[in-house]
Amino acid sequence: MPGLITPETPHYVPAPATNIELEYADLPIIDLAQMSTPAGHLALAEKARDAMTVHGFFYVINHGFNTAQTERIFDIADIPFSKVGDEEKRTYVAKMKETGSYQGYKPRQYWHIDGGVRDQMENYNINRDITKRQHPEVLRPFLPEIEKFARHNHEEVLHPILRLLAVGMELPEETFVNMHGFSSVGETYEEDEVKSKNVWLKGHTDFGTITILYSQPVAALQILTSDGTWKWVKHIENALVINAGDALEFLSGGFYRATIHRVVQPPEDQRSYTRLGVFYFCMTDDDVKLAPLVESPVLQRVGVSRSFDGVEPPTMEAWRRGRTAAYGQTDLKPAEKGVEEEIINGVVVKHYN
């Protein structure tokens, strides 16, 4: 990241790749370098459309960060966990249930998984506006790099993806981009750095529009495929794993799928390693109403498959706050085999056990 003063921090060494054969999902790869020509742009829009309607997941390569820059981000991501003691962490704990905000630490055992089991996942979340709250002292010298990382993800990764997805619905190219202002008031994005050992989370959907995950080698992420089976997401060096969330599914009337995914125990040869992840969770501006964009010629042809059935569509702020406050804290009701439900803002939310 030229032009920035880069304080020193120990280099984070990731786990080696697993040698165990796993059944991986066959996910498409979007090469953003192909957007430089009109023909490439159109071809990518078709590929992204098909990926989001069939899988809800795809990889992105040539996203503007080289391997060294990505490694630097993982070095920084490790700081809130390896360099901050438990007492100081308690000072910066997020008040998720009270405020519907993830900003700060999500401590271990905050989420209830099942049968009295609680999670062992620790998060540190930073809003793209790094001034929204105070951060641990050891992390403060790195905030300029974190802010630049957030802007890069927002403008050089999220926006191109949103343009492709708008074209896929035959909408004006900036339709979704205009809903995702970097400087908008609200909590429209969170950067999430996760460190966990031998953990799993129930199958769920993300509540925003797009989630950007920097691929890392510890195999734990699985997606529920269209044939009803769970398949692993394979690590690709310096690639991004992209998935759709509830908000994009709502806005697209179900045309783009918010795919169910879960975190499971890694393969045996990786269980002694810590899984460190870097995420950029994307949401629309808080005041955007998550109603289907029925002006889309595509929706007019294929119809709306995901609507609110008489319930007033929530704003992004209401949906964000409701999902954040409820996750891992509410009593889920059994619905069908392996599926539990809760109702948020009048909308049924499913969890897959």
Assigned domain for 2 exists: no
Q: How confident is the model at residue 169 (pLDDT cuts 50, 70, 90)?
A: very high
**Is the model's pLDDT at 190 over the cut of 60?**
no
pLDDT band at 66 (very low <50, low <70, confident <90, very high): very high
Measure CA 115 to chain center.
26
Element (H, E) at 336: strand 333-336
Cβ burial, residue 150 (10 Å; 0-12/13-18/19+): buried
DSSP run (H or E) holding 200: none
Q: Give the model confidence (pLDDT) of 283-327 as tens digits.
A: 999 999 999 999 999 999 999 987 777 788 999 998 888 777 665
Per the structure, how many domains does the chain have?
A: 1
Q: What tokens were used for 222? A: 């699985």
CA 37 to chain centre: 28
Contact yes or no for 236/292 (Cβ under 8 A): no
108 within a domain of the structure (yes/no): yes
- What count of other Cβ atoms lies within 10 Å of the Cβ of residue 88? 14
Q: Per residue in 232-286, pLDDT tens?
A: 999 999 999 999 999 999 999 999 999 889 888 899 999 999 889 999 999 999 9
The answer to whether residue 338 sits within a structural domain is yes
CB 143 within 8 A of CB 130: yes
pLDDT digit string, tens, across residues 5-58: 689 999 999 999 999 999 999 999 999 999 999 999 999 999 999 999 999 999
Whether residue 315 lies inside any domain: the answer is: yes
- Contact yes or no for 176/209 (Cβ under 8 A): yes
Q: Does residue 77 lie within any of the structural domains?
A: yes
Domain presence at residue 115: yes
Residue 344: pLDDT over 60: no
| Domain presence at residue 305 | yes
Which domain range does residue 149 map to? 29-352
Q: Which secondary structure element, helix H or strand E, spans residue 195, and what is its range?
A: strand 189-196
Which residues does 293 contact at the CB level (< 8 Å), separation at least 6?
Answer: 169, 171, 175, 251, 252, 253, 299
Give one DSSP letter per residue of 60-129, joined into a string: EE--S--HHHHHHHHHHHTHHHHSS-HHHHHHTB--HHHHS---EEE-TT-SEEETTEE--EEEEEEESS
Contact yes or no for 190/153 (Cβ under 8 A): no
The CATH number covering residue 296 comes to 2.60.120.330
Asked whether the CA dihedral 258, 263, 268, 272 is positive or negative, the reply is positive
Residue 175 lies in a domain: yes
Task: Give the pLDDT confidence score for residue 323 in this predicted structure.
Answer: 72
Report pLDDT digits (tens) over 72-123: 999 999 999 999 998 998 888 866 666 656 778 876 655 545 555 655 678 8
Instruction: Give the 3-state secondary structure of residue 207.
Output: coil
CA neighbor of 245 nearest in space, from 300, 171, 181, 190: 190
